[in-house]
Amino acid sequence: MRITFVLPGYPWKPVGGFRVAYEYANHLVARGHNVAVVHARCLPNWSPPPPPNFYRWLRKKAGQIRNLFFRPKVNWQPIDERVKMLYVPEPTERYVPDSDAVFATAWQTAELVAKYPPEKGEKFYLVQDFEDFFGPKERLEATWKEAFKMIVISHWLYKKVVSIVGQRKDIIVIPNGINHQKFRLLNDIISRPKRVAMMYSNASYKAPEDGLRALEICKREFKDFQAVIFGPGAIPKRLPSWIEDKGTVDSETLVRLYNSASIFLSSSVAEGFAFPPAEAMACGCAVVATDSGGIREYAEHEETALLSPPRNPEALAENLLRVLKDDTLRIRLAQAGHERIKRFTWERSTNLLEKFILSSFRCVDRRR
């Protein structure tokens, strides 16, 4: 079967939504399907709001020029050599190969894929977006109402979709998987140091300032711990000496970083699924996080993690202090989380996705 995924940009840095498409592409091509991933240099239907300052505007312009002349090498995610990686000016039908099934992967691409002619394939929508963090809420929700067969990555997000479009048989939940060959235990859970890891991203829904604030609150009350932050965000220049800044890291370094910590801190406001806490669980960290919605797929309060309301660094700090002060609690959460996250594999997710695709074609055949 010919399957195409349409992405809304170039993969210069790690992006969770891109990773989902790449993982499915890898597993589907290994099963004998002909898979292409289309990357759009720009979007004819969407121009993000102007950057808030000259420095960010200059960076945006530099990125646009870079995209004209260069193609990124995806070193943060393995890509099967049989997957066709296509880089196109825009994700309009002119640049998208004919397929049996074509997937929109974001609301911006969904607006365009909805208009593709039949030869581009049966239309599917991998729903990973939510609310208005990624664009106008009314446009995002309008894409949910289009004639797509939809795969939603968490039950929390599924409820949002159904609240807008109603119950439909062609909308299913397939949670994301974790690559357990990569994200795995290297260091024993019990003997880990009091070290807290946190991803730092400038995306507003990640609320990184709340995470740093929670760390500072804890440090005033409990001195005996260190912290390490990583990620693609522009990390504040004046960090205290007890917070180590690793910046952007490759996948192997990330696994070692997770394994060097005993606790992972997440401060997001909303997440469709939330990869970093799940990866940290797979690597043996106890997760202390905000209840960001999609994280509930694997993070259960007091069972596999400690959760607190978003936008409340004081409550986040309170839970972090509990784990720092109570090693028995930390070990119990880490071990339970490690066992829970084992259920989430790309093999299982791909089984469900492939079954959904094939059943959709059988339905089409019956109508004909």
- pLDDT > 50? residue 169: yes
For residues 128-158, b (16+ Cβ closer than 10 Å) or e, as one string? bbbeeebbeeebbbebbebebbbbbbbebbb
356 in any annotated domain: yes
Cβ–Cβ < 8 Å for 267, 208 = yes
Chain CA centroid to CA 60, Å: 22
129 in any annotated domain: yes
Same structural domain for residues 40 and 171?
yes
Same structural domain for residues 359 and 270?
no
Same structural domain for residues 165 and 101?
yes
184 in any annotated domain: no
Domain count, the chain: 2
Range of the domain at 102: 2-177+345-367
For residues 59-76, b (16+ Cβ closer than 10 Å) or e, as one string? eeeeeeeebeeeebebeb
Taking the C-alpha atoms of residue 163 and residue 149, their distance in angstroms, rounded to an integer, is 16
Same structural domain for residues 271 and 334?
yes
Q: Residue 241 sits in a domain of what CATH number? A: 3.40.50.2000
SS3 18: helix
Mean pLDDT for the chain overall: 92
77 in any annotated domain: yes
Same structural domain for residues 64 and 213?
no
Taking the C-alpha atoms of residue 11 and residue 232, their distance in angstroms, rounded to an integer, is 13
Same structural domain for residues 247 and 172?
no
pLDDT tens-digit map of 351-367:
999 999 999 876 544 33
The set of residues, in sequence order, having a beta carbon less than 8 Å from that of 153 and lying 6+ positions away, is: 20, 126, 127, 128, 173, 174, 175, 176, 272, 273, 294
Greater confidence, 263 or 14?
Answer: 263
pLDDT tens-digit map of 45-63:
987 766 667 666 677 677 7
Amino acid at 148: F
Same structural domain for residues 23 and 121?
yes
* Cα Dmax for the chain: 69
230 in any annotated domain: yes
Among 321, 219, 306, which Cα is nearest to 266's? 306
357 exposure class (CB count in 10 Å sphere: 0-12, 13-18, 19+): buried
Q: What is the mean pLDDT of residues 228-240?
A: 84
Q: Does this model's pTM top 0.95?
A: no
Same structural domain for residues 95 and 146?
yes
Same structural domain for residues 142 and 108?
yes
pLDDT tens-digit map of 279-303:
999 999 999 999 999 999 999 999 9
Same structural domain for residues 94 and 152?
yes
